Amino acid sequence: MTDTTSGLGLLRQPKSVLFGPGQRRQLPFITKGIASSVLIVTDARMAASEDFHEIKAGLEAHGIAVSVYSETEPDLPRDNILEVVSRYSSSAAPRAIDAVIGIGGGSCLDLAKVAAIALVNQHDVRDYYGEFRVPAPGLPVITVPTTGGTGAEVTCISVVYDRDKGMKLGIASPHLEPYAAVIDPELTLSCPPGLTAATGADALSHLIEAFTARAKNPTPEEIDTKLYVGKNRLTDLFAGHGLSLLNSGLARVVANPQDINARADVMFAAYAAGMAINTTGTAGAHAIQSPMATYSDAPHGFGVGALLPYIMRFNLPARVDAFAEVGRIFGVADSSSPLIEQAHAAIQRVEELLEIVGAPLDVKAIGLKPEHFDAVADQAMMATRLLANNPRVLTREAVIAILQKGYEGDRSWWELV
């Protein structure tokens, strides 16, 4: 089938999205219409903050009973989900939970989404791994992100680390779509510099992968049964705008972490990325990074960021036009120059943005070693849902070659055939 957007426009999104500084104070008014008793899912750092206590008090002031699970770990281990279900299922909790509120980074938001379906459907979360395997809707979820990067506040996918299986696995279902998202840039002001850098790299990878993803020309049946139906006119709208915002916003946040306008731009870019990948899906960088996490304790954003220069070079022959357009969006490409030169300028600017936030630009820097390449490639081949989104076919041999280039830090204009 021809790889063209064919005029299709498709987005999946929450019922409501509220964006802007201070908008967390609207949370009680959104919540009281759907719940009288809520479970807040967060982590220890956020639970100890003044912002969290303000949010909790605001809910309680409007007569909403609040339970708190504050033990969310990075990369969302399956154990966290089992703990939430054990403590807050209808048979265990002192009062019924009507809705789940996720407050924090991507793992907190992913946990809120999965917990909401697990509390209702009462299955082991392993039953949900994959696409369209959640049998029925769960509790309504409201997401409140505190980082500018993952886009999890608007996506209908959660990623779970299954320790027994030694890998991350995705749960993808329309039933994970949040009821509402409240996106308040003020909540990112206390975000540590390292987390700001990692989530910024993550958002950048989402936007690049969405803008250069495969266009699949889905049939009506495919739209009805698959989440990731390809790059299209509406995802391009969000991805292009997000790239423009990150192009200026990342440097401003690094220069002055208290610049609320810069924080807002980066957070809006992350939201735009989430809106795009909710339909396009992520691609090669994410397929390879997931098994890399077994051998590297680098944050997810640094893992995909370290792969991005090499994935872009691999995909370039299939996406010269798209990368050239990214160069024009960034303002680094002369539209009168050959398209390949414009595309090169775009890729170099992506690398500059990664350097600005302090993200590693090779996989050696995050602890991956050549003896890991075979295992990483084998597991990457299992991420068929993500590989299907990549604009060029990724074989096992290609993954190993990309990892080798990434280990050597070879950012010349190589091509793999």
Burial 398-407 (b: 16+ CB within 10 A, else e): bbbbbbebbb
Is 4 within a domain? no
pLDDT at 148: 87
Of 145, 162, 183, at which residue does a domain stop? 183
Banded model confidence at residue 91, pLDDT cuts 50, 70, 90: low
H or E element that contains 69: strand 65-69
Tokens of 304: 């995909």
Q: Which amino acid is at 374?
A: D
Q: Which amino acid is at 141?
A: V
What are the φ/ψ torsions at residue 168 (nearest 5 degrees)?
A: -90, 140
Tokens of 254: 């690094």
pLDDT surpasses 80 at 4: no
Say if residue 121 is in the same domain as residue 212.
Answer: no
DSSP assignment of 234-267 equals HHHHHHHHHHHHHHHHHHHHHH-TT-HHHHHHHH
% of the chain with per-residue pLDDT over 90: 86
Q: Among 110, 114, 132, which residue's Cα sits nearest to residue 124? A: 114
pLDDT surpasses 70 at 92: no
**CATH number for the domain that contains residue 168:** 3.40.50.1970
Q: Is 146 helix (H, G, I), strand (E, B) or coil?
A: coil
Total of domains in the chain: 2
H or E element that contains 407: helix 396-408
Angle at 400 between CA 399 and CA 406, to 5 degrees: 90
Q: Which amino acid is at 125?
A: V
The predicted model gives 241-268 an average pLDDT of 96
CB 287 within 8 A of CB 387: yes
Q: What is the pLDDT of residues 330-385, one digit of tens each?
A: 999 999 999 999 999 999 999 999 999 999 999 999 999 999 999 999 999 999 98
Range from 49-63, 149-163, 306-320 carrying the lowest mean pLDDT: 149-163
Say if residue 128 is in the same domain as residue 249.
Answer: no
pLDDT at 93: 63
pLDDT at 5: 60
Burial 108-145 (b: 16+ CB within 10 A, else e): bbbbbbbbbbbbbbeeebbebbebeebeeebbbbbbbb
Tokens of 199: 């989530």
% of the chain with per-residue pLDDT over 70: 98
pLDDT at 417: 74
d(CA 34, CA 179): 10
pLDDT surpasses 60 at 321: yes
Say if residue 352 is in the same domain as residue 230.
Answer: yes
pLDDT at 34: 96
Query: CA neighbours within 13 Å on the CB side: how many for 48?
Result: 5
> How far is C-alpha 75 from the chain's CA centre?
12
Is 47 within a domain? yes
pLDDT surpasses 50 at 2: no
Q: Which amino acid is at 196?
A: T
pLDDT at 133: 92
Say if residue 243 is in the same domain as residue 365.
Answer: yes
Banded model confidence at residue 169, pLDDT cuts 50, 70, 90: confident
Angle at 281 between CA 227 and CA 82, to 5 degrees: 75
Say if residue 349 is in the same domain as residue 204.
Answer: yes
pLDDT at 3: 60
**CATH number for the domain that contains residue 220:** 1.20.1090.10
Q: What is the pLDDT of residues 174-229, one digit of tens each?
A: 999 999 999 999 999 988 899 999 999 999 999 999 999 999 989 999 999 999 99
d(CA 28, CA 262): 27
Is 45 within a domain? yes
Say if residue 394 is in the same domain as residue 249.
Answer: yes
Of 159, 183, 207, at which residue does a domain stop? 183
Q: Among 179, 196, 178, which residue's Cα sits nearest to residue 187? A: 196
Q: What is the pLDDT of residues 151-160, one digit of tens each?
A: 999 999 999 9
Say if residue 110 is in the same domain as residue 35.
Answer: yes
The predicted model gives 293-310 an average pLDDT of 94
pLDDT surpasses 80 at 322: yes
Say if residue 247 is in the same domain as residue 391.
Answer: yes
Q: Look up the domain containing 160 and give its range.
A: 23-183
Sequence-ordered alpha helix ranges (H) in 101-142:
106-121
pLDDT surpasses 90 at 137: yes
pLDDT at 150: 87
Q: What is the mean pLDDT of the chain?
A: 94
Say if residue 34 is in the same domain as residue 154.
Answer: yes
Is 6 within a domain? no
Q: What is the pLDDT of residues 383-415, one digit of tens each?
A: 998 999 999 999 999 999 999 999 999 999 999
Of 161, 183, 205, at which residue does a domain stop? 183
Say if residue 171 is in the same domain as residue 214.
Answer: no
Say if residue 220 is in the same domain as residue 156.
Answer: no
Is 352 within a domain? yes
**Bridge-based pairing state of the strands 99-104 and 65-69:** unpaired
Banded model confidence at residue 1, pLDDT cuts 50, 70, 90: very low
pLDDT at 122: 81
Say if residue 126 is in the same domain as residue 207.
Answer: no
d(CA 357, CA 208): 17
pLDDT surpasses 50 at 286: yes
pLDDT at 152: 95
